[in-house]
Amino acid sequence: MMRALRRMVARLARSGDGAAAVEFALILPILLLLYIGSIEASQLIITDRRVTTVAGTLGDLVARSKDSISTATLNNYFGAASSTMGPTATGPLTQVVSLLGVDASGNATVKWSKAYPATATPRLKDSAFDMSNSPHMRDLAKGRDIVVSEAYYTYHPMVNLVFSAAIPLSRTNFYLPRFPGTISCC
């Protein structure tokens, strides 16, 4: 009986049948974390690119206006820009478009500002706008008007495994109006 037991133990020690299962069980949580993390990171990057596109689309459309732009047209532009977020939810998306006047010394002042959705806050008329983060655009716009489009989005992770908190995304774009003069609003 002892001899048979020793042979069984020796045969079990030589056998590697269970080793693969144990190794797989040990590495599976790491592989799942990498897989879910790559999906979550991809969604975050895609959403960030869409926020960038929203800000770019809105600013470009407004900069193409000649002389004036109506509130109805701006609302259409907000809606068109929002549709580029699809299929991502647009609930946490805020858009602000403003026309700034930049004086000869580079100080920017808000001439008008509109925000979307209705609960969003536009910039205050005649308030200062800090363009220190974009000195090239400030210098290019001296003595002229410039369109500023901003998009803000709060990204909520699909699974709170890799990213555990909401991540704020934002983008600000500057556009020189295509036509000389100013763009009045409303």
The answer to whether 92 touches 156, Cβ cutoff 8 Å, is yes
Give the integer Cα–Cα distance in Å for 67 and 127. Answer: 22
Residue 69 pLDDT > 80, yes or no? yes
Is the pLDDT at 2 greater than 90? The verdict is no
pLDDT(22) > 80: no
Q: What is the rounded CA–CA span in Å between residue 84 and residue 75?
A: 15
Q: What's the pLDDT at 54?
A: 94
Length of the chain: 186
Token pair in block for residue 124: 């205050």
Q: Print burial letters for 93-103: b (CB count within 10 Å at least 16), e (below 16).
A: bbbbbbbbbbe
Write down the mean pLDDT value for the chain: 89
3-state secondary structure of 172: strand
Residue 17 has what pLDDT? 66
Instruction: Provide the pLDDT for residue 13.
Output: 67
Burial group, residue 37, by CB count within 10 angstroms (0-12, 13-18, 19+): middle
Query: Residue 82: which H helix or E strand, with range?
Result: helix 71-83
Output the pTM of the full model: 0.80
Indicate if the pLDDT at residue 172 is higher than 80: yes
- CA 96 to chain centroid, in Å, comes to 14
Q: Which of 89-93, 135-139, 144-148, 178-182 has the highest mean pLDDT?
A: 144-148
Indicate the range of 52-61, 62-71, 83-92, 174-183 predicted with least confidence: 83-92
Question: Cis peptide leading into 122, omega within 30 of 0?
Answer: no
When pLDDT is averaged across residues 71-96 and rounded to a whole number, the result is 89
Are residues 179 and 68 in contact, defined by beta-carbon separation less than 8 angstroms? no
∠ Cα 75 150 45 (to 5°) = 110
User: In this model, does residue 186 exceed pLDDT 80?
Assistant: no
Please give the pLDDT value at position 107: 93
When mean pLDDT is compared across 22-36, 90-104, 145-159, the lowest value belongs to: 22-36
CA dihedral defined by 58, 59, 61, 67, rounded to 10 degrees? Answer: 130
Check: CB of residue 62 under 8 Å from CB of residue 175: yes
The band of 16, judged by pLDDT with boundaries at 50, 70 and 90, is: low
